[in-house]
Amino acid sequence: MTEQASTDTQPRLGARFAGQVALITGASRGIGLGIAHRLQAEGATVVLTARKPEALAEAVAQFPEGTALGIAGKSDNPDHRAEVYDAIAEKFGRLDVLVTNVGINPVYGPLIDLDLDAARKILDVNVIGTLAWVQEAVHHEKLGFRENKGRIVSISSVAGQVPSPGISFYGISKAAVSHLTKSLAVELGPDIRVNAVAPAVVKTNFATALYEGKEEEVASAYPARRLGTPEDIAGAVAYFASSDADWITAQVLTADGGVITAGGNA
């Protein structure tokens, strides 16, 4: 299974998101692109953001004409976020679903040797960036996010649930995302639901270092006996974003093939 979502193997789905607009950050590949494909397959118009214009254009080209819009920029840049929300308001006049998927982990190694500037950058993108996307969606006067009973789904990580050597500070940032999810759900209810999905290792470029050359060995620790795919996470996000989950908020769904229960880590 490759990182890119495959449209020709996408199951026939209903139209739970017909007439709705969904924004997915970090969506030029991997989990974000998989989520965008799933929501579009269920009727949504999707807006994708990513840092690299060329990769984003290639991603948007995978969708049926008129169903996807790509806007390139850095997720932690306030001007980029304003551009995205203003474009959504102008072109579509509404926002229904916000999926905050952007996450970085530029360092690997023990916390005791962690470069503190790298730590600040991780927090700025993974935590402050997540909060900023939410704040600006809620406060934008022309999106009607609250009036549309908006749904927010953030991508956390099982690294935020148990110590994960080598990526510990990334895990710390994702633990913050999980707590942020719960806190926002309490503040924004009943109008807006907020949930998160916490994956273990998913087969994407982002996680390559965790399984490349040793996939069978890594997967052996998972009761499911395989690593995750972007489609696995997309299904969970689509559930949280749909009316099927209207009574579900403030939850963090562990999507890990059972590895944490079996005593493993990210």
Give the alpha-carbon dihedral of 53, 49, 196, 16, to 10 degrees.
-120
- pTM listed for this prediction: 0.93
208-216: long-range contacts, CB 8 A cutoff, minimum separation 24: 209/108, 210/266
Sheet of 151-155, strand order: 68-72, 45-50, 21-24, 97-100, 151-155, 193-199, 252-255
CATH 3.90.1150.200 fits 21-262, yes or no: no
Query: Is residue 185 over pLDDT 90?
Result: yes
Largest Cα separation within the chain, whole Å, is 51
Q: Are residues 25 and 32 in contact, defined by beta-carbon separation less than 8 angstroms?
A: yes
Angle between helices 30-41 and 230-241 (to 10 degrees): 50
Mean pLDDT of the chain: 94
| pLDDT tens-place string over residues 123-132 | 999 999 999 9
How many whole angstroms separate alpha carbon 157 and alpha carbon 38? Answer: 20
More confident residue, 7 or 146: 146
Catalytic residue numbers read 170
The pLDDT of residue 12 is: 58
The pLDDT of residue 4 is: 42
Where are the chain's structural domains? 21-262
